[in-house]
Amino acid sequence: MKKILILMGPNLNMVGVREKGIYGEEAAESINAQIIDYSVKSGFNAEIYQSNHEGDLIDKIHSAKESFDGAVINAGALTHYSYALRDAIACVKIPFIEVHMSNIHAREEFRHTSVIAPVCAGQIAGFGKNSYFLAIDALKDMI
């Protein structure tokens, strides 16, 4: 069975608590359980990894080349300025799908630019937790 990594960046552990008008009221733990369940139903083993620390995310990306066939990444605010995260994705030769629960293009201007998008296979934004499910579906055709 193919294995995928679901990477979540800063503050995504607070979904359901923070900015409920943007991210909803469902707790991160509940969404994570649904992502794992959806992955299994889609034929994948999945691991979810969340960190509020850029270096930890980079280390996990580096280790992904040995252990995973593809990845879904919601880098949170790091999406918009972390060239280190971008470079880590670029050096790992597995497909990454960039995901955002909110529509980053309908929010503050600084959120409109993704520095990781050019090294990802695609970007899905604005569908809440369903953005993760759509990304898993996309990976089915890539790996």
Q: What is the pLDDT of residues 102-141, one digit of tens each?
A: 888 878 787 789 999 999 999 999 999 999 999 999 999 9
Which range, of 20-29, 43-52, 63-72, 76-85, averages the lowest pLDDT?
20-29
Residue 3: enclosing H or E segment and its boundaries?
strand 2-8
> ∠ at Cα 86 (83, 92), nearest 5°?
145
Q: 63-67 — which CB contacts under 8 Å span 24+ positions?
A: 64/5, 64/92, 64/94, 65/92, 65/93, 65/94, 67/3, 67/5
Can you give the pTM of this predicted structure? 0.94
33-66 pLDDT per residue, tens: 999 999 999 999 999 999 999 999 999 999 999 9
Per the structure block, which two tokens stand in for 40?
Answer: 């299994």
Per the structure block, which two tokens stand in for 61?
Answer: 């990306």
| Active centre residues (catalytic) | 23, 100
